[in-house]
Amino acid sequence: MNEVIDQIATKAGIAPDLAEKAVGMILGFLQREAPDGPVTKMIESIPGASDLVAQYNGEETSGGGLLGGLLSAVGGGGGLMALGQQLMSSGLSMGEITSLAKETIATARQHAGDEVVDQVVNSVPGLHQFL
């Protein structure tokens, strides 16, 4: 996975260790929000992605700051807003998050193909506007 993370980190302009955590969080979010079939195929197609999801998937349940708490209180986990809050809490700016998300999806397309990735992206409300 290091090669994939290094590629994403370089293109997004962020440190590899931060990229690793953020990519794991993004893929974990997609695993929770998208239909099982396409998202599982996508994650399994990216070398090492399953390990990242296993390592960082739990990040979404820890806190989320005030915004995450408020979103949880008004229903659900907050979706993309909660993910954005968690990523910002990890030290990423909004621009870095957008860049990282685009590079993660581009990498997923390289490994899983456009059709599978489009199914995942189109199934998560609001995701398309960030890509």
Residues 67-110 pLDDT 10s? 444 444 444 446 888 888 999 999 999 999 999 999 999 999 99
Instruction: Provide the pLDDT for residue 8.
Output: 95
Number of structural domains, the chain? Answer: 1
User: What is the distance between the alpha carbons of residues 98 and 69, in angstroms, rounded to a whole number?
Assistant: 23
User: What is the distance between the alpha carbons of residues 122 and 131, in angstroms, rounded to a whole number?
Assistant: 11
Radius of gyration in angstroms for the set of CA atoms belonging to the chain, rounded to a whole number: 14
Range of the domain at 75: 1-58+65-127
Confidence of residue 118 (pLDDT cuts 50, 70, 90): very high
Distances (CA, A) of 109 to 17, 58, 92, 115: 22, 25, 23, 8
Instruction: Provide the pLDDT for residue 73.
Output: 41
pLDDT tens, residue by residue, 39-77:
999 999 999 999 999 998 754 444 444 444 444 444 444
